[in-house]
Amino acid sequence: MGRLAQTDGLTEIQRDILATVREFVDKEIIPVATELEHKDEYPTAIVEGMKRLGLFGLTIPEEYGGLGESLLTYALVVEEIARGWMSVSGIVNTHFIVAHMINAHGTQEQKDHFLPRMAAGEIRGAFSMSEPALGSDVAAISTKGVKDGEFYVLNGQKMWLTNGGTSTLVAVLCRTDEGGSTPYKNMTTFLIEKTPGFGPNPTVPGLTVPGKIEKMGYKGVDTTELVLQDVRIPADRILGGVPGRGFYQMMDGVEVGRVNVAARGCGVARRAFELGISYAQQRTTFGKKIAEHQAIQFKLAEMATKVEAAHQMMVMAARKKDSGERNDLEAGMAKYLASEYCKEVVEDSFRIHGGYGFSKEYEIERLYREAPMLLIGEGTAEIQKMIIGRRLLEEYRIAG
Protein backbone atom coordinates (compact mmCIF):
# COMPACT_ATOMS: atom_id res chain seq x y z
CA MET A 1 0.00 0.00 0.00
CA GLY A 2 1.54 3.32 -1.11
CA ARG A 3 1.22 6.76 0.38
CA LEU A 4 -1.46 8.00 -2.02
CA ALA A 5 -5.11 8.39 -1.00
CA GLN A 6 -4.53 8.19 2.75
CA THR A 7 -7.17 9.65 5.08
CA ASP A 8 -6.25 11.45 8.29
CA GLY A 9 -8.28 11.28 11.48
CA LEU A 10 -9.82 7.82 11.11
CA THR A 11 -10.84 5.84 14.17
CA GLU A 12 -9.33 2.46 14.92
CA ILE A 13 -12.62 0.83 13.91
CA GLN A 14 -12.57 2.62 10.56
CA ARG A 15 -8.97 1.56 9.94
CA ASP A 16 -9.82 -2.05 10.81
CA ILE A 17 -12.81 -2.05 8.46
CA LEU A 18 -10.73 -0.67 5.59
CA ALA A 19 -7.91 -3.15 6.23
CA THR A 20 -10.40 -6.03 6.13
CA VAL A 21 -12.00 -4.77 2.92
CA ARG A 22 -8.60 -4.16 1.30
CA GLU A 23 -7.56 -7.74 2.05
CA PHE A 24 -10.88 -9.02 0.67
CA VAL A 25 -10.40 -7.00 -2.52
CA ASP A 26 -6.84 -8.22 -3.03
CA LYS A 27 -7.70 -11.88 -2.42
CA GLU A 28 -11.28 -12.28 -3.61
CA ILE A 29 -11.97 -9.61 -6.24
CA ILE A 30 -8.85 -8.62 -8.20
CA PRO A 31 -7.83 -12.21 -9.12
CA VAL A 32 -11.24 -12.97 -10.72
CA ALA A 33 -12.52 -9.55 -11.82
CA THR A 34 -11.26 -9.55 -15.40
CA GLU A 35 -12.48 -13.08 -16.12
CA LEU A 36 -15.94 -12.40 -14.68
CA GLU A 37 -16.13 -9.05 -16.47
CA HIS A 38 -15.32 -10.59 -19.84
CA LYS A 39 -18.04 -13.19 -19.27
CA ASP A 40 -20.46 -10.49 -18.01
CA GLU A 41 -21.07 -12.86 -15.10
CA TYR A 42 -22.73 -11.76 -11.87
CA PRO A 43 -20.17 -12.06 -9.02
CA THR A 44 -22.24 -14.30 -6.75
CA ALA A 45 -19.32 -15.50 -4.61
CA ILE A 46 -18.05 -11.96 -4.11
CA VAL A 47 -21.51 -10.75 -3.08
CA GLU A 48 -21.80 -13.59 -0.55
CA GLY A 49 -18.43 -12.56 0.84
CA MET A 50 -19.59 -8.97 1.22
CA LYS A 51 -22.68 -10.18 3.05
CA ARG A 52 -20.48 -12.09 5.50
CA LEU A 53 -18.43 -8.95 6.08
CA GLY A 54 -21.61 -6.98 6.84
CA LEU A 55 -21.02 -4.49 4.03
CA PHE A 56 -24.69 -4.35 3.01
CA GLY A 57 -25.47 -2.97 6.46
CA LEU A 58 -22.43 -0.75 6.81
CA THR A 59 -24.36 2.51 7.30
CA ILE A 60 -27.63 1.06 8.64
CA PRO A 61 -28.04 1.91 12.36
CA GLU A 62 -27.07 -0.72 14.90
CA GLU A 63 -30.64 -0.89 16.21
CA TYR A 64 -31.62 -2.44 12.87
CA GLY A 65 -28.70 -4.87 12.77
CA GLY A 66 -26.26 -2.72 10.80
CA LEU A 67 -22.82 -1.38 11.69
CA GLY A 68 -23.99 2.24 12.01
CA GLU A 69 -20.96 3.64 10.21
CA SER A 70 -20.65 7.07 8.59
CA LEU A 71 -20.87 8.09 4.96
CA LEU A 72 -17.11 8.64 5.09
CA THR A 73 -16.50 5.03 6.12
CA TYR A 74 -18.83 3.84 3.39
CA ALA A 75 -17.14 6.02 0.74
CA LEU A 76 -13.69 4.73 1.71
CA VAL A 77 -14.96 1.15 1.53
CA VAL A 78 -16.41 1.84 -1.93
CA GLU A 79 -13.09 3.30 -3.03
CA GLU A 80 -11.36 0.06 -2.03
CA ILE A 81 -13.98 -2.13 -3.74
CA ALA A 82 -13.88 -0.06 -6.96
CA ARG A 83 -10.12 -0.42 -6.97
CA GLY A 84 -10.76 -4.14 -7.35
CA TRP A 85 -13.74 -4.04 -9.74
CA MET A 86 -16.07 -1.10 -10.16
CA SER A 87 -19.10 -3.27 -10.93
CA VAL A 88 -19.03 -4.73 -7.43
CA SER A 89 -19.24 -1.25 -5.91
CA GLY A 90 -22.35 -0.68 -8.05
CA ILE A 91 -24.05 -3.68 -6.45
CA VAL A 92 -23.59 -2.06 -3.04
CA ASN A 93 -24.31 1.52 -4.10
CA THR A 94 -27.96 1.37 -5.09
CA HIS A 95 -28.65 -0.81 -2.03
CA PHE A 96 -26.97 1.83 0.13
CA ILE A 97 -28.98 4.69 -1.44
CA VAL A 98 -32.30 2.93 -0.83
CA ALA A 99 -31.34 2.07 2.76
CA HIS A 100 -30.30 5.68 3.34
CA MET A 101 -33.61 6.96 1.96
CA ILE A 102 -35.64 4.58 4.16
CA ASN A 103 -33.62 5.44 7.26
CA ALA A 104 -33.82 9.19 6.60
CA HIS A 105 -37.38 9.48 5.28
CA GLY A 106 -39.26 6.25 5.95
CA THR A 107 -42.01 5.65 8.47
CA GLN A 108 -41.15 3.65 11.58
CA GLU A 109 -43.02 0.66 10.15
CA GLN A 110 -40.97 0.88 6.94
CA LYS A 111 -37.71 1.06 8.88
CA ASP A 112 -38.67 -1.91 11.05
CA HIS A 113 -39.82 -3.91 8.02
CA PHE A 114 -36.93 -3.27 5.61
CA LEU A 115 -33.76 -2.20 7.40
CA PRO A 116 -32.91 -5.36 9.41
CA ARG A 117 -33.17 -7.54 6.31
CA MET A 118 -31.29 -4.99 4.22
CA ALA A 119 -28.50 -4.97 6.81
CA ALA A 120 -28.22 -8.74 6.49
CA GLY A 121 -28.21 -8.57 2.70
CA GLU A 122 -31.44 -10.60 2.53
CA ILE A 123 -33.17 -7.67 0.83
CA ARG A 124 -31.09 -5.86 -1.77
CA GLY A 125 -32.17 -2.51 -3.08
CA ALA A 126 -32.39 -0.81 -6.48
CA PHE A 127 -33.01 2.85 -7.20
CA SER A 128 -35.31 3.89 -10.08
CA MET A 129 -35.62 7.51 -11.13
CA SER A 130 -34.58 7.74 -14.81
CA GLU A 131 -36.79 7.02 -17.82
CA PRO A 132 -36.06 6.39 -21.53
CA ALA A 133 -36.88 9.99 -22.54
CA LEU A 134 -35.96 11.66 -19.26
CA GLY A 135 -32.19 12.13 -18.94
CA SER A 136 -31.40 14.77 -16.33
CA ASP A 137 -34.78 16.52 -16.56
CA VAL A 138 -36.49 14.90 -13.58
CA ALA A 139 -39.41 17.33 -13.82
CA ALA A 140 -40.42 15.63 -17.08
CA ILE A 141 -41.09 12.29 -15.39
CA SER A 142 -44.02 10.46 -16.99
CA THR A 143 -44.40 7.23 -14.97
CA LYS A 144 -47.61 7.85 -13.07
CA GLY A 145 -49.26 6.65 -9.88
CA VAL A 146 -53.03 7.11 -9.53
CA LYS A 147 -54.76 6.65 -6.18
CA ASP A 148 -57.38 3.89 -6.07
CA GLY A 149 -58.75 3.50 -2.54
CA GLU A 150 -55.98 2.12 -0.31
CA PHE A 151 -53.75 1.44 -3.34
CA TYR A 152 -51.95 3.30 -6.09
CA VAL A 153 -51.94 2.04 -9.66
CA LEU A 154 -48.59 2.59 -11.37
CA ASN A 155 -48.00 2.79 -15.11
CA GLY A 156 -44.85 3.70 -17.02
CA GLN A 157 -41.36 2.67 -18.02
CA LYS A 158 -38.17 3.24 -16.05
CA MET A 159 -34.59 3.00 -17.30
CA TRP A 160 -31.01 2.38 -16.12
CA LEU A 161 -31.74 0.39 -12.97
CA THR A 162 -28.52 -0.96 -11.51
CA ASN A 163 -29.41 -4.29 -9.84
CA GLY A 164 -32.77 -4.17 -11.60
CA GLY A 165 -32.92 -7.94 -11.99
CA THR A 166 -31.12 -9.14 -8.85
CA SER A 167 -32.74 -6.70 -6.41
CA THR A 168 -35.73 -7.55 -4.25
CA LEU A 169 -36.70 -3.97 -3.36
CA VAL A 170 -36.97 -1.05 -5.78
CA ALA A 171 -37.51 2.59 -4.82
CA VAL A 172 -39.47 3.96 -7.81
CA LEU A 173 -40.17 7.64 -8.44
CA CYS A 174 -43.59 8.35 -9.99
CA ARG A 175 -45.71 11.40 -10.75
CA THR A 176 -48.81 11.44 -8.54
CA ASP A 177 -50.21 14.96 -9.07
CA GLU A 178 -51.20 15.28 -5.42
CA GLY A 179 -48.55 17.36 -3.76
CA GLY A 180 -48.72 20.95 -4.97
CA SER A 181 -48.39 23.55 -7.66
CA THR A 182 -44.99 22.58 -9.11
CA PRO A 183 -43.83 19.32 -10.76
CA TYR A 184 -41.35 18.77 -7.93
CA LYS A 185 -44.18 18.61 -5.39
CA ASN A 186 -46.12 16.10 -7.46
CA MET A 187 -43.69 13.18 -7.27
CA THR A 188 -43.84 10.23 -4.93
CA THR A 189 -41.41 7.43 -4.12
CA PHE A 190 -42.91 3.94 -3.91
CA LEU A 191 -41.17 0.98 -2.26
CA ILE A 192 -41.86 -2.11 -4.37
CA GLU A 193 -40.88 -5.55 -3.11
CA LYS A 194 -40.35 -8.06 -5.88
CA THR A 195 -38.88 -11.44 -6.70
CA PRO A 196 -35.39 -11.33 -8.27
CA GLY A 197 -35.12 -12.30 -11.92
CA PHE A 198 -36.05 -11.18 -15.42
CA GLY A 199 -39.34 -11.17 -17.30
CA PRO A 200 -42.81 -10.74 -15.75
CA ASN A 201 -42.49 -10.73 -11.98
CA PRO A 202 -44.32 -13.64 -10.34
CA THR A 203 -45.11 -11.75 -7.12
CA VAL A 204 -45.96 -8.31 -8.52
CA PRO A 205 -48.56 -8.54 -11.32
CA GLY A 206 -47.87 -6.05 -14.11
CA LEU A 207 -44.19 -5.50 -13.22
CA THR A 208 -41.64 -6.65 -15.80
CA VAL A 209 -37.83 -6.51 -15.92
CA PRO A 210 -37.23 -7.20 -19.64
CA GLY A 211 -33.57 -8.25 -19.38
CA LYS A 212 -30.05 -6.91 -19.07
CA ILE A 213 -28.98 -3.90 -21.14
CA GLU A 214 -25.78 -4.69 -23.03
CA LYS A 215 -23.07 -2.18 -22.09
CA MET A 216 -19.57 -1.18 -23.15
CA GLY A 217 -18.31 -1.67 -19.60
CA TYR A 218 -19.65 -1.92 -16.06
CA LYS A 219 -20.41 -5.56 -16.73
CA GLY A 220 -21.28 -8.30 -14.24
CA VAL A 221 -23.81 -6.09 -12.48
CA ASP A 222 -27.19 -6.05 -14.21
CA THR A 223 -28.51 -2.78 -15.64
CA THR A 224 -32.14 -2.98 -16.73
CA GLU A 225 -35.41 -1.34 -17.65
CA LEU A 226 -38.50 -1.60 -15.46
CA VAL A 227 -41.97 -1.74 -17.02
CA LEU A 228 -45.07 -1.09 -14.91
CA GLN A 229 -48.52 -1.91 -16.28
CA ASP A 230 -51.35 -1.39 -13.77
CA VAL A 231 -49.10 -2.35 -10.86
CA ARG A 232 -51.07 -2.02 -7.62
CA ILE A 233 -49.04 -0.86 -4.62
CA PRO A 234 -50.49 -0.30 -1.12
CA ALA A 235 -50.51 3.32 -0.01
CA ASP A 236 -48.45 2.37 3.05
CA ARG A 237 -45.55 1.64 0.69
CA ILE A 238 -45.17 5.32 -0.14
CA LEU A 239 -41.79 6.27 1.29
CA GLY A 240 -42.54 8.30 4.40
CA GLY A 241 -46.26 7.63 4.08
CA VAL A 242 -47.09 10.98 2.44
CA PRO A 243 -47.30 11.59 -1.34
CA GLY A 244 -45.57 14.53 -2.98
CA ARG A 245 -42.20 14.24 -1.25
CA GLY A 246 -40.53 11.90 -3.71
CA PHE A 247 -38.37 14.40 -5.57
CA TYR A 248 -36.71 15.66 -2.40
CA GLN A 249 -36.22 12.13 -1.08
CA MET A 250 -34.63 11.04 -4.35
CA MET A 251 -32.35 14.09 -4.46
CA ASP A 252 -31.15 13.27 -0.97
CA GLY A 253 -30.35 9.78 -2.23
CA VAL A 254 -28.59 11.15 -5.30
CA GLU A 255 -26.54 13.50 -3.11
CA VAL A 256 -25.01 10.64 -1.14
CA GLY A 257 -24.82 8.70 -4.40
CA ARG A 258 -22.60 11.42 -5.87
CA VAL A 259 -20.14 10.91 -3.03
CA ASN A 260 -20.27 7.21 -3.87
CA VAL A 261 -19.54 7.84 -7.56
CA ALA A 262 -16.66 10.09 -6.56
CA ALA A 263 -15.33 7.27 -4.39
CA ARG A 264 -15.61 4.86 -7.30
CA GLY A 265 -13.68 7.27 -9.49
CA CYS A 266 -10.99 7.47 -6.83
CA GLY A 267 -10.74 3.68 -6.61
CA VAL A 268 -10.55 3.09 -10.37
CA ALA A 269 -8.00 5.89 -10.79
CA ARG A 270 -5.85 4.50 -8.00
CA ARG A 271 -5.86 1.05 -9.59
CA ALA A 272 -4.96 2.55 -12.98
CA PHE A 273 -2.06 4.39 -11.37
CA GLU A 274 -0.87 1.20 -9.65
CA LEU A 275 -0.97 -0.67 -12.94
CA GLY A 276 0.78 2.14 -14.81
CA ILE A 277 3.64 2.65 -12.36
CA SER A 278 4.17 -1.10 -12.09
CA TYR A 279 4.25 -1.63 -15.85
CA ALA A 280 6.60 1.36 -16.31
CA GLN A 281 9.16 -0.37 -14.09
CA GLN A 282 8.97 -3.62 -16.06
CA ARG A 283 8.91 -2.47 -19.69
CA THR A 284 12.27 -1.67 -21.32
CA THR A 285 12.76 0.63 -24.34
CA PHE A 286 15.91 2.21 -25.74
CA GLY A 287 18.02 0.30 -23.23
CA LYS A 288 16.27 1.31 -20.00
CA LYS A 289 13.03 0.94 -18.09
CA ILE A 290 10.39 3.32 -19.41
CA ALA A 291 9.94 4.63 -15.86
CA GLU A 292 13.40 6.19 -16.27
CA HIS A 293 12.25 8.28 -19.23
CA GLN A 294 11.35 11.81 -18.18
CA ALA A 295 8.16 11.80 -20.26
CA ILE A 296 6.82 8.79 -18.32
CA GLN A 297 7.88 10.28 -14.98
CA PHE A 298 5.95 13.45 -15.83
CA LYS A 299 2.90 11.35 -16.68
CA LEU A 300 3.14 9.38 -13.43
CA ALA A 301 3.50 12.62 -11.46
CA GLU A 302 0.34 14.05 -13.04
CA MET A 303 -1.57 10.82 -12.45
CA ALA A 304 -0.59 10.63 -8.78
CA THR A 305 -1.52 14.27 -8.18
CA LYS A 306 -4.96 13.69 -9.68
CA VAL A 307 -5.48 10.54 -7.58
CA GLU A 308 -4.59 12.46 -4.44
CA ALA A 309 -6.68 15.54 -5.24
CA ALA A 310 -9.80 13.53 -6.08
CA HIS A 311 -9.48 11.45 -2.91
CA GLN A 312 -9.21 14.47 -0.64
CA MET A 313 -12.17 16.18 -2.33
CA MET A 314 -14.26 13.04 -1.90
CA VAL A 315 -13.32 12.80 1.79
CA MET A 316 -14.27 16.43 2.35
CA ALA A 317 -17.70 15.92 0.73
CA ALA A 318 -18.41 12.84 2.84
CA ARG A 319 -17.37 14.53 6.07
CA LYS A 320 -19.54 17.54 5.24
CA LYS A 321 -22.59 15.28 4.89
CA ASP A 322 -21.73 13.40 8.08
CA SER A 323 -21.59 16.69 9.97
CA GLY A 324 -25.23 17.34 9.10
CA GLU A 325 -24.41 20.32 6.90
CA ARG A 326 -25.64 20.86 3.37
CA ASN A 327 -23.10 19.25 1.01
CA ASP A 328 -24.55 19.52 -2.49
CA LEU A 329 -21.74 21.90 -3.51
CA GLU A 330 -19.01 19.62 -2.19
CA ALA A 331 -20.68 16.45 -3.49
CA GLY A 332 -21.04 18.00 -6.95
CA MET A 333 -17.42 19.12 -6.95
CA ALA A 334 -16.20 15.72 -5.75
CA LYS A 335 -18.22 13.81 -8.32
CA TYR A 336 -17.15 16.12 -11.14
CA LEU A 337 -13.47 16.15 -10.23
CA ALA A 338 -13.13 12.45 -9.41
CA SER A 339 -14.90 11.23 -12.54
CA GLU A 340 -12.99 13.53 -14.89
CA TYR A 341 -9.65 12.76 -13.24
CA CYS A 342 -10.44 9.06 -13.29
CA LYS A 343 -10.94 9.18 -17.05
CA GLU A 344 -7.63 11.03 -17.48
CA VAL A 345 -5.61 8.79 -15.16
CA VAL A 346 -6.98 5.64 -16.81
CA GLU A 347 -6.13 6.99 -20.26
CA ASP A 348 -2.59 7.91 -19.19
CA SER A 349 -2.10 4.43 -17.75
CA PHE A 350 -3.46 3.01 -20.99
CA ARG A 351 -0.89 5.07 -22.91
CA ILE A 352 1.91 3.87 -20.66
CA HIS A 353 0.94 0.29 -21.47
CA GLY A 354 1.27 1.04 -25.17
CA GLY A 355 -0.06 -1.65 -27.49
CA TYR A 356 -0.55 -4.05 -24.58
CA GLY A 357 -3.18 -1.74 -23.13
CA PHE A 358 -5.34 -2.63 -26.11
CA SER A 359 -5.17 -6.32 -25.25
CA LYS A 360 -7.91 -7.92 -23.16
CA GLU A 361 -5.19 -9.83 -21.32
CA TYR A 362 -4.27 -6.64 -19.48
CA GLU A 363 -6.42 -5.21 -16.70
CA ILE A 364 -6.12 -1.64 -17.94
CA GLU A 365 -8.28 -2.55 -20.95
CA ARG A 366 -11.19 -3.24 -18.58
CA LEU A 367 -10.64 -0.02 -16.66
CA TYR A 368 -10.59 1.92 -19.93
CA ARG A 369 -14.13 0.69 -20.68
CA GLU A 370 -15.38 1.20 -17.12
CA ALA A 371 -14.28 4.80 -16.53
CA PRO A 372 -16.77 6.45 -18.97
CA MET A 373 -19.75 5.29 -16.88
CA LEU A 374 -18.59 7.55 -14.07
CA LEU A 375 -18.86 10.57 -16.38
CA ILE A 376 -22.65 10.13 -16.60
CA GLY A 377 -23.66 8.21 -13.44
CA GLU A 378 -25.52 10.31 -10.80
CA GLY A 379 -25.54 13.28 -13.17
CA THR A 380 -23.26 14.34 -16.01
CA ALA A 381 -20.40 16.80 -15.68
CA GLU A 382 -22.69 19.49 -17.08
CA ILE A 383 -25.28 18.83 -14.36
CA GLN A 384 -22.57 18.99 -11.68
CA LYS A 385 -21.36 22.32 -13.08
CA MET A 386 -24.92 23.68 -12.95
CA ILE A 387 -25.25 22.61 -9.31
CA ILE A 388 -21.86 24.04 -8.42
CA GLY A 389 -22.49 27.32 -10.27
CA ARG A 390 -25.88 27.90 -8.67
CA ARG A 391 -24.58 27.19 -5.19
CA LEU A 392 -21.59 29.50 -5.71
CA LEU A 393 -23.95 32.31 -6.75
CA GLU A 394 -25.94 31.72 -3.56
CA GLU A 395 -22.79 31.93 -1.47
CA TYR A 396 -21.22 34.90 -3.25
CA ARG A 397 -24.27 36.93 -4.26
CA ILE A 398 -23.52 40.64 -4.18
CA ALA A 399 -25.83 43.13 -2.52
CA GLY A 400 -28.30 44.93 -4.77
String of DSSP letters for 374-394: HHHTTS-HHHHHHHHHHHHHH
Q: What is the pLDDT of residue 299?
A: 97
CA 314 to chain centre: 13
Distances (CA, A) of 233 to 128, 221, 324, 329: 16, 27, 33, 36
For the chain, report the end-to-end CA distance as a whole number of angstroms.
53
Residue 148: its pLDDT value, please?
94
pLDDT for the residue 232: 97
Q: Which tens digits make up the pLDDT trace of 81-111?
A: 999 999 999 999 999 999 999 999 999 999 9
- pLDDT recorded at residue 179: 67
- What pLDDT score does 400 carry? 65
Question: What was the pLDDT predicted at 133?
Answer: 81
**b/e per residue, 74-95, with b = 16+ CB within 10 A?**
bbbbbbbbbbbbbbbbbbbbbb
Q: What is the rounded CA–CA span in Å between residue 321 and residue 328?
A: 9
Q: How many residues does the chain have?
A: 400
**Predicted local distance difference test score (pLDDT) of residue 256:** 87
pLDDT at 183: 77
* Cα Rg, the chain, nearest whole Å: 21
Q: What is the pLDDT of residue 13?
A: 96
Task: Read off the pTM.
Answer: 0.93
Catalytic residue (choose from 274, 378, 382, 395) = 378
378 is a catalytic site residue: yes
Low-confidence ranges of the chain (pLDDT < 50): none
